[in-house]
Amino acid sequence: MPNPIPVELRERAVAAYENGEGSYAVISARFAISEDSLMRWVHRHRDSGSCSPFKKGGGNRSKVDIDLLHQILAASPDSTSLEMTREYNRHVEDDMVVSRSAFLRAVYKEQYVFKKNGGVLRSKTGQTSDKHASNGRHGR
């Protein structure tokens, strides 16, 4: 979400409208804002005396228990993220179970790092091309 429009601009636009310098359309064009925004600011100013932006919100709080997270990471530091997520979920109640991605967000927020492909098996056929082969140009 972008940052809100500065309070000074809001106050100048509302003051211009309240002083009768034009309609919503004229004032919004003059200040390069939308008519709907100006209307909201004017109504808010009339109701509360302020046209400052609301506090930014958003996002969901993580359900991951940070203390338990640290215990799990300390107990098995070489486990994959999937294994640690399963271990974490064994220790919490059903309504506190988290997905692997939620677990990883909490891990990264706590500044831990996982190897990307720790749980992926290597190919059984091995490398299929020579490391030093040319780029398909057959000796050119």
> How much of the chain exceeds pLDDT 90, in percent?
46
Triad 119, 123, 124: Cα angle to 5° = 120
Q: What is the per-residue pLDDT across 42-84, written as a single tens digit (0 to 9) for each?
A: 999 999 999 998 887 777 778 899 999 999 888 888 888 888 9
Rounded to the nearest integer, the mean pLDDT of the chain is 84
Name the more confident of 78 and 140.
Answer: 78
44/71 same-domain check = no
Judge whether 40 lies within some domain. yes
* Other Cβ atoms within 10 Å of 13 Cβ, number: 25
pLDDT surpassing 50 at residue 31? yes
Tally of structural domains, the chain: 2
pTM above 0.85, yes or no: no
Q: Which domain holds residue 20?
A: 7-48
